[in-house]
Amino acid sequence: MRRVLFLLIFGVLGTALLLALGAWQVQRLVWKRDLLAGIEARIAADPVPLPAAPDPEADRFLPVAVAGEILPGEIHVLVSLKDAGPGYRVIAPFGVGDGRLILLDRGFVPHAQKDAARALGPAEVQGNLHWPQERDGFTPEPDRAANIWFARDVPAMAAALGTEPVLLIARAPTDPGVTPLPVDTAGIPNDHLNYAITWFSLALIWAAMTGFFLWRTRAR
C-alpha cells in the first residue's frame, strides 16, 4: 500500500509540474505573438525624420526617411541567403547633413560582386534603425585586410568608418546591383509552441507510465 501511495503521489506531482510548464509556454507563446505583432506594426509605420540622438532601445526598428549622401568606403558582412547563396551585406557611410555620418545597410550583393563599383552621391533613403545582436563569443574577428566581417557589430563598424553607432537598413534599392534586405521579424525566435507541445507530451507520457507502474504494483 505504501508503495502504491508513493507512486501515486510521485506520478501526480510530476504530471502536474509538466502540465504547468506547458501552460507557461502557452502564455509565453501569446506574449511573443503580441510582441512580434507590435514590432511588425512599428517596422511598417510611416517614416519619421532621423532623431538627433537615436537610442538603441527606444528607437530600435524605428522607420525613418533621410536625405543625404552615400560616401565612399564600405564594410562587407558575410551572409548567405537561401535562394542566392553566399554573399555580403554592404554597409556604407551615409552623410545626413550638419556633418553627421551614420551607417547605411544597402543590402545584399553576391560573392562575385563584392568589390564591384556601386552608385555613390546624393540619395533619399527610407528604412529602419536597428542595432542587431549578431556577435557572440564564437564570432571571428573581422578580416580587415580582405574587408570581410562576420557580424554587424554596430559600434565596431562605426569606429571603422568614422560614423555614429547608428545603422539604417534600407527598404528600397540604393543601387541596381544591391538587393535590399529590409528589417523583419523572421530572425526573432518563437519556439514556445514547440516547447509547449514537448512539455504536454512529457506530461502524457509521465501519466501513462505512472498508470502502468501502478497497475503492475497492484497486479503483484
Share of the chain above pLDDT 90, in %: 56
pLDDT of residue 36: 76
pLDDT tens readout for residues 133-154:
888 888 999 999 999 999 999 9
Containing 128, the helix (H) or strand (E) segment is strand 121-130
pLDDT tens readout for residues 26-84:
898 888 888 777 778 888 889 999 998 999 999 999 999 999 999 999 999 999 888 77
Minimal CA–CA distance to 157: which of 64, 57, 73, 50? 73
* Alpha-carbon gap, residue 28 to 39, rounded angstroms: 16
Model confidence band, residue 215 (pLDDT cutoffs 50, 70, 90) = confident
pLDDT of residue 49: 94
The residue ranking higher by pLDDT, 10 or 109, is 109
CB 102 within 8 A of CB 166: yes
Domain ranges of the chain: 2-40+190-219, 62-170
Residue 156 has pLDDT above 80, yes or no: yes
**For the chain, what is the largest distance between any 2 Cα atoms, rounded to a whole number of angstroms?**
87
* Alpha-carbon gap, residue 213 to 88, rounded angstroms: 58
